[in-house]
Amino acid sequence: MPSGGYSALTASETAGPDRARDAILAQARALGFQAAGVASADEAPRDAESLRAFLRLGYAGDMAWLRRTAERRSSPRALWPEARSIVVVGISYGPAHDPLRLLDAPARGIVSAYAQGRDYHDVVKGRLRRLARFVVDTFGAEVKLFIDTAPVMEKPLAARAGIGWQGKHTNLVSRRHGSWLFLGELFTTLDIAPDEGEADHCGSCRQCLDVCPTDAFPAPYRLDARRCISYLTIEHKGHIAPEYRAAMGNRIYGCDDCLAVCPWNKFAGRTEEYAFLPRAELTAPRLVDLAALDDASFRTVFSGSPIKRIGRDRFVRNVLIAIGNCGEAGVWPAAGRLLGDASPLVRAMAVWASGRLLAPARFAALRARHEPAERDPAVRAEWQGHPQAGGH
């Protein structure tokens, strides 16, 4: 066994594009990728046009990086002109429990299934590097590897590689793994025989569209990210618009609703990946405990977690919205302590949660104490615009 951790192959075993394809996909499976396929690096005009339409309609919200990288995303060779083939791999993270079970436990926060274990970027990248080394050492080809932080249209590529298809919720669906796959891509200068793209098997089903709490799907196969709870709780850096707060319920990081109701999940087993097994403290965390996190404790609790990248202020913003939605006045002190927080994001949602949980007289007394000293216009607007303040 070579030091790279893969099996040596003879020249006769790797000769020709079909042999190369079989050898690479076998190695991918040996490295722990449950799904693997090959797509051509040729441009796919329909995918490029879908991206342009998404951006033209403003559905990207404040994800400016999508607009900045649109040209490179539109074609694999715009990203790397020498690429000839793309090996697409997937790791299943099928959850052991129903991701929607906590909707009936409003004092607990819901963290998206993908974020309850280790940061998948690290796991996928580590295995992709080993696969890349195998390709370089065995075939002498050049390679570049990517995960979803790079300007790659990975879901369309996975569909072209035969791993699955993009469902009506725009996420990848697999007949073997349901809606629960992490993806990675290995671009190479090798000419490898591509797989046949996967056909769409959604049929007349629209469960993923109908379950969305914020009506984020203007039409099947079209997502308005500005309305999506995953976008709002993870990507959106500012204040979350009032029209979406109640619909967020107790979802504090991401939203699995459209993924969880997909009928194809019945074929998906629970993940056996140790790295993706949920951390006990994230399976049903108490909102009051999460609201108490300062920056240092946030970094400690979420070390090695994808949650860490959004920072304490945005995360506590989300937690306070969930507290405001829980309907239990007894949890109010967790929000009340944050009315004087250093972050306007946090103070604003502490005001909102207070208005949802307290009687009008109590809220008015808090307003009289805090509003005169408030200098942030967004926080002042929360005090002034809340129904209990006599506004709209």
Q: Which residues are catalytic?
A: 148
- Tell me how far apart the alpha carbons of residues 50 and 70 are, in angstroms, rounded to a whole number: 11
CB 353 within 8 A of CB 131: no
Rounded Cα–Cα distance for residues 384 and 379 (Å): 9
Lookup: tokens for 328: 């239990």
DSSP string, 231-299: IIIII--SPPPHHHHHHHTTEEE---HHHHT-GGGGGPPPP--GGGSPPHHHHS-BHHHHHT--HHHHH
Is residue 169 within 8 Å of 217, Cβ to Cβ?
yes
- Exposure letters 285-302 (e unless 16+ CB within 10 A, then b): bebbebbebeeeebeebb
For residue 388, what are its two tokens? 């209990």
